Amino acid sequence: MIDDIDSQLIEIFQQGLPVVSRPYALIGQQLNLSEDEVILRLTRLKQQGLVKRLGVVVNHRRMGYKANAMVVFDVPNHLADQIGGHISQFGFVNLCYQRPRHGEKWPYNLYCMIHGKNREKVLQQLDYLIESCGLAQFSREILFSRKCFKQRGAFYQVCTKQEKVLSDG
């Protein structure tokens, strides 16, 4: 489990690691923690799996990856884990989740995200994925993103005792 100090650490990290010689010491100063303790806590959060990774978060759009497709499939529930695990192995897949169905209007339960430089490339990759994972038999929809109204990156608002509204990350 995480404690309040972990929460504050995660919150401060939303602004990004400072680009200075001793960044963890600088973060520690803001929390009254030693450099060592910051590093130890981050190491533990990674080991516990609460932090999936610590590192460079690339801005896909700026890197020229302007086509973004959310692909949804209706797969049998008992196969979702197996298929999800398989889909996640492909380098061009960025996310893969199971979510609840909503009856006939939205029967899909498996989601994945594919970022590509253009629509054609994304569709080619999707064809390859469908063929490789044997997904052709399942109904699906492809939802390309159009307009972005709000984007705060992988922003998590962590509420500690003193709840604060954070600025955009």
Partner 1 sequence: MLTSLHKQLLNNYQQEFPLSATPYLDIAESLGVTEEAVLAAFDELNQQQFISRIGLVIAPNNIGASTLVAMAVPEEQLQSVAEIVSLYPEVNHNYERENIFNLWFVLISKDDMHLQTVIEAIELETGFKAMQLPLLADYFINLGFEIDFDD
Residue from the set 31, 80, 123, 130 that interacts with partner 1 by CB under 8 A = 80
By CB under 8 A, residue 50 contacts partner 1? yes
By CB under 8 A, residue 29 contacts partner 1? no
Q: Render the burial of 82-113: b for 16+ CB within 10 Å, e for the rest.
A: ebbebbeebebbeebeeeeeeeeeeebbbbbb
Residue from the set 117, 120, 128, 139 that interacts with partner 1 by CB under 8 A = 117
By CB under 8 A, residue 144 contacts partner 1? yes
By CB under 8 A, residue 24 contacts partner 1? yes
Side-chain half-sphere exposure of 68, counting CA atoms within 13 A = 14
Residue from the set 32, 56, 104, 161 that interacts with partner 1 by CB under 8 A = 56
Side-chain half-sphere exposure of 65, counting CA atoms within 13 A = 14
SS3 category, 97: strand
Residue from the set 29, 30, 98, 139 that interacts with partner 1 by CB under 8 A = 98
Contacts of 16 (CB under 8 A, 6+ apart): 169
By CB under 8 A, residue 78 contacts partner 1? no
Residue 82 or 131 with smaller CB distance to partner 1: 82
Residue from the set 75, 87, 122, 135 that interacts with partner 1 by CB under 8 A = 87
